[in-house]
Each structure stands twice: as C-alpha cells, then as structure tokens.
Chain A
Amino acid sequence: MDLTFNDEEAAFRDELRAWLGANDAGPEPQGDEDAHYRWRRDWQRQLADARWAGVHWPSEFGGRSATLTQSAIFFEELGRSRAPLPADVLGLLLAGPTLMVWGTDAQKERLLPTILNAEEPWCQGFSEPDAGSDLAALKTRAVRDGDDWVVTGQKVWTSGAQFAKWCMLVARTDFETPKKHQGLTYFVLDMDQPGVIVRPLRQITGEAEFNELFLQEARIPDDAVVGGVGNGWKVAMTTLMNERSGLAFFLQVRLRNQLDKLIEEVAARGMLDGAGGNAIAQKLGDLHVKAEVIRLTAYRGLTAIERYGQPGPEGSLTKWMWSQANQELTQLAVDLLGDEALTADSPWSYELLRARGNSIEGGTTEVLKNIVAERVLGLPRMR
C-alpha cells in the first residue's frame, strides 16, 4: 500500500494545476438554464482543446490515455479550483466508457470524438413510466425494417434530452422470451429526427433538467446496435456501473466543495467559536468524515479496477453514501444558516431540493441496498 502519488501522477497533477491556474470558465450565469448549459459547454470545449476533457480516454480518441488514478486526480483538481463540471457528463462518464467496452470500431471512431468537445451531447433513455426500479420490464419496442430498426414507446426522466444529439436507448427487440432481461437491445438513437419528441418535465426545484421522451416510429440504423442484438441488459449494466461508481466519484468532488463552502460561511459568522461552537463543529466534522470516506472508498475502487479489471464491493457503496451525505449536508446548511437558506434566491435552497433526487436517480437507495445485499453479501433474494 502506498497512498502517495508517483512521479508521473504528481507531474500530471502539477501540469493540470498550472493549466487550471491560467484558465477559467468565466462568471456563472444566473437564472437562465440554457445560458448555464452553454457556459458549461464552452468550459468543456476549453478543456477539450487542451486535451483535458477525457483524460482517461485513449489518445487516439482525443484523451491522454491516463490511468484511472490520474483521472481521479483530474476531478479532484477540477473541484479544488472550483471550476464548473463539464456539460456532457453523461457522454464523458456513461456513454463513452460504455462504447469503449461494447462499441464497434466504427462506432468509436464516429461517436467518441464529439463527446469530448461537447459537440454532440448525450442522454440516457432507460427509465419508462412503468419501468423504473424494474428496468427490465421496459416496453419500448424496436422492430426490424430492412436495414433499420423502428422504435416506438415512451421514456421518462431523461436528463438533458433537450440538449442531446444522441441517446443511450434500451428497447425490447424480442417479445417471445420468458425472461424479461433477455430480449433487450442497446441502441444509439439519433435524437435529431421527427419520430423523437422531447417534452420537458419540471422538477421540484422549478427547473426542467429532465424530460419525457416520446418515440413514434423513430428510426435507428442497424449499425447503431451496441453490443449485439439481445445483449442490451449487459450493456446497460456497464452504463449503470459507470453511473454508480464513476459518476459518484465525480460528484464527491462537488460534495467536498459544498462542504467547504458551508464551513467557510459558518466560520465567518463565528459559529465555530467557543464552547457553543462544539456541537456545530461536530456536525460539520461528521460530514467531513463522510466526504473523506467516500473519496477514499472511491480511490480503493479505482485500484480494484486497475488491478482486477472490475470494481470491488465498495463500488456499490459510493453512490449510496454520496446521496445520503449530500442530503445531510444540504439540510445541515439550512439548520446552521437559518431560514435565509430557504429563500428562493439562496443557492442552498436549490441544493436542498435538488439533493432529494440523489437517492432516486441512477437507482434508488433501496434498490442499491438490495444489490449490496444480494450480490455483495450473498444474501438470498426476496423472490
């Protein structure tokens, strides 16, 4: 065990720090969702131009062929400099890695480069009105028609569909098999066609980050099947693994930033001073421990992937830990900063409400616990 960075990693970090010191995203636009998105997109382009967007991607696809540890360093440094997150997180962390595992050479060549510079953003079309936790129950149908597939059905909660060029789409292609996990196929759907209708869904924060997606005889060419016909469940699991471990790694950096911001605000009010400050310090300290444990556990997961090719059991824990810590953090902010954190313009009130989605998106906490119980602990399934 050696938890220091080796020379190569340290050099990588220093180069990145220097770059982040010289480049920034400019002021954050307030109150306009589209302007906010463009701001993050332009920032991703700046990163991509300097080959910082997909550092762990192979160099042939515009990355740096960096190790997973280096990519972790990337996110930590991004967080440390308080830079915004790139716009197409779903492309960078979900679609890209899935295509690298399952995509054909032609798919990789066509699709990967435009992820990096946010030219063609992605969305994830998995959930349906009747298939949320029970994803395998999905009903969207894809039927062959010559060299194409014709897709009909409805997806829901599709984040970023309003900006997306491509969609990671899972649809049913075999209606006979008795097992519902079989008979699914993973497609790359071009969002730019008449058969694809995106309708925004407003969330409890007032924003519409996610959407309903209606597919009315949308067409997908056969060469846009990812990982083979009937193999969609496995491919989707690759995406979900990346969502739950990779994305959580990236999000823990945001958690860290929010916690630092809260500690600063609380300290500036003198609330940590004296004996009375003890109880508050304990609560903040508790969250610090949680944030550090998530970070360290995520690093252990990286080592496991580097050494054994797959995340260990701790990979299933990070998304659960993160959502819980983020909900606690935002509620604590309200407790400590008082009712001004509940005013509409306070950034904390947005965070408080947004955090409620954390234990639902990407698999609910209940479902993640089932997975831990069944696959990690080997406990019997309920049915």
Chain B
Amino acid sequence: MNFDFSDDQREIKRTARDLLAGRSSFERVRAAAEAPAPPAYDPALISELGELGWPGIAVCEEHGGQGLGAVELGILLEELGYACAATPFLGTVLAALAIEHAGSSQQRERWLPGLASGEVRGALGSAGAIVPDAPGAAVVVLLDDDGGATVLDTAQDGVTVQTVATIDPTRASGRVSARADVGEELPGDVAAAVGRAAIAVAGELVGISQRALEMTLAYVKERKQFDIPVGAFQAVSHRCAQMLLYTESARSATYYAAWAADAEPQRLAEAAALAKAAASEAGREVTASAIQAHGGIGFTWEADVHWLYKRAQLDAAFLGGTGTHRATLARLVSTRLHTMDA
C-alpha cells in the first residue's frame, strides 16, 4: 500500500501550482469576474494550458492526449480550484472523459483530438440543469434523466445553449437543450463516465477548500483583536481545525476515487459518490468558515474569499450534492450486502 503521489505526480502538482500562481493570481481572477459581461477569460491562459497539454492529460495518446490517468487530471483540477482559475477547462476535460470512456470509436476520433489540444471546448451536464462552461463549448455531453447521454455538436440546428448568470462570475454557465432528433447517443457506460466527471469536480473542490483554509490561517495569525492574534481564540483555532478535517477528508476520498477510477473500475460508482459527497460538504463548509473567520472583511467584495465560496456552491450542486451522493452510497451498500447474503 502506498497512498501517496509518485514523484512524477508531485512534479505535476508543483509545476501547476507555480504556473497558476503567476498566470491566475486573484487579481486576474477578479479582472475576469468584474468584466462587463463576465467572465472575460484570458485567451493567453487558455492557449498556454493547451500548449502544455493540460486538457489532454487524461486522454489516450492515440487521440492526441498524454495518456495519463484520473489521478493526474485530479491534480490539475485541484490546482485550478486552488487558484479559482477563470478558464474554461473543467467543461472540456469532462466532455473528453465522457467521450473517451463511453463514446463510440467514431465519436472519439471526431472529438478527442480537438478537446485534448484545447482547440475545441466542451462541456458536460444534465438537461435542464446549469452546465459549467456550456457557453463557448463546441461539444456538449448532455445527460438525460434515464441515465443516457447525448453528444451534441452545438453548431448544429436544434441545439440551444442559453447563458445563465450565476453567483459565480469566474466561470461561464449555461443551460443546454436539444431537439429530440439532434445529437448522437453515447453508447458506452454513461454511469461510469459521470462517475469520473464527479471525481474530477471533487478534485476542484479539494483545491478550493485548501486555498480557503490557507487564506484563513494567514489571516487569523495576522489579525489582532484584544491585543492577540484572533487565531489564538479557541473558537477560531477550533474552527480552523475543523476546516482542516473537512479538507483532508475530502482529499482522502477524492484521491482514493481518482486512483480507483483507473485501477479498480468496479469500485468506481461507490468511490465517485464518496468523493463527491465529502468534497461538496468540505467545499461549502470550509469556504463559509473562511468568511466567518475573516469577520467583516470576509463579507466584502474586496476580499477574495467569496470567489471560493461561490465556486464551491456551484461545484457542490453540480452532478449531485452531498445529500444525493450519500443516498446513492446507502443504496449501493445495501445492494452489496444483499448480494453477499445471497
């Protein structure tokens, strides 16, 4: 047993952290979010990530990707979440995941090279729900209520992407609908593809939580009231300890799920629900606590914690929140016990 990143994975994480610290500082995130029609993405960042091969990190080499796995993808998303980066990355990698793991060979040939290079943008989400990165996506994997999914070319007649302004202006969101006769069915295991997508989103939530925790620690060590740093009050220090507990719980579940997705796919459904349940809770609780520990400053637009809070709220709701996934887990466990008995 070795529950740790390899040297290569660590290197990916460090490189991503360094790169995003320079290219996606909070000033840049804020500039994107405060533009007249937010978000105003930085085209240089989009092309740089593309040149680095990030969008294709988990896409097989045959289709122009790097052929790495869910763990490496999770690392990148964690770092993008940590930076709260305003860039249409999530949707593209989610669409690629679904097409790679549940698409026909024709669908893979058609879409994966473009998605992997970052030249084609994608999105994935449920019909009727908010789909991150849908505006600007050339291809959308639209999940229906019956567990099926359709691959939509948004340039086609009969596909509508309606932009929706959410509380998170750092990311474009939309609702997608399509006429019944448009689009191609995704023939493979859609549930597994959605599980992989949920794990990826959990990765982003881990990064968001980590950042909110670090910003809070820095603040409460510095900010003094009653002549001592407020972090010395147990009400504050225990809150910070609780934030760590949430973050590390989400991290354990998410890293495990990312590993299982490739190494033990039979555990994917359960691991994905576990990761999304834990990470959605962590994201919401930790960012709310960050606001609280910052006092009045935390409630201002000027401070940056609210970007994390808002991103966490949207991510938590996307592809099912804590409650939905907890219920899924209880049912999965019950079924497993039942089959063991039989």
Contacts and interface: CB of A to CB of B under 8 A. Distances in A.
Interface of A: 127, 130-134, 137, 156-157, 201-204, 206, 327, 331, 334-335, 338-340, 342-345, 349, 352-353, 356-357, 359-361, 364-366, 369-370, 382-383
A382 to B, nearest CB: 8
Nearest to B323: A335
A137 B288 contact: no
Contacts of A382: 233
Contact of A127 (B227, B296, B309, B310): B296
Given A331-B284, A339-B130, A360-B295, A344 B167 contact: yes
Interface string B268-304: 0000000000000000100010011001101111100
A377 B129 CA distance: 49
Contacts of B321: 335
Contacts of A134: 225-227
Contacts of B309: 204, 356
Nearest to A344: B165
Contact-size category for B: 35 or more
Nearest to B306: A204
B318 A339 contact: yes
A343 B317 contact: no
A343 B164 contact: yes
A194 to B, nearest CB: 26
B166 interface: yes
B314 interface: yes
A147 B240 CA distance: 50
A137 B225 contact: yes
A133 B300 CA distance: 17
A352 B296 contact: no
Contacts of A133: 225-226, 230, 295
A152 to B, nearest CB: 22
Contacts of A156: 296
A132 B300 CA distance: 15
30 contacts: A127-B296, A130-B224, A132-B295, A132-B296, A133-B230, A137-B225, A137-B226, A201-B302, A203-B300, A204-B309, A206-B301, A335-B321, A335-B323, A338-B129, A339-B129, A339-B130, A339-B318, A340-B130, A342-B166, A342-B314, A342-B317, A343-B130, A345-B165, A349-B166, A353-B306, A353-B310, A360-B291, A360-B296, A361-B296, A366-B233
Contacts of A157: 296
A357 B318 CA distance: 25
A327 B284 CA distance: 12
Contacts of A131: 225
B299 A203 contact: yes
B313 A359 contact: no
Contacts of B310: 204, 353
B1 interface: no
A191 to B, nearest CB: 20
Contacts of A359: 292
B240 to A, nearest CB: 12
Contact of A204 (B235, B236, B299): B299
A346 to B, nearest CB: 9
Contact of B301 (A137, A204, A327, A334): A204
B161 to A, nearest CB: 15
Contacts of A338: 129, 317
A207 to B, nearest CB: 9
B325 to A, nearest CB: 12
Contacts of B166: 339, 342-344, 349
Nearest to B238: A366
For the complex of A and B, the 9 pairs showing the least CB-CB separation, nearest first, are A202-B301, A344-B165, A366-B235, A204-B306, A134-B225, A339-B130, A339-B317, A357-B299, A134-B226
Contacts of A335: 321, 323
Given A339-B317, A353-B167, 13 more contacts: A132-B225, A133-B230, A137-B227, A202-B300, A206-B301, A331-B284, A335-B321, A339-B314, A342-B166, A343-B166, A360-B299, A369-B235, A370-B235
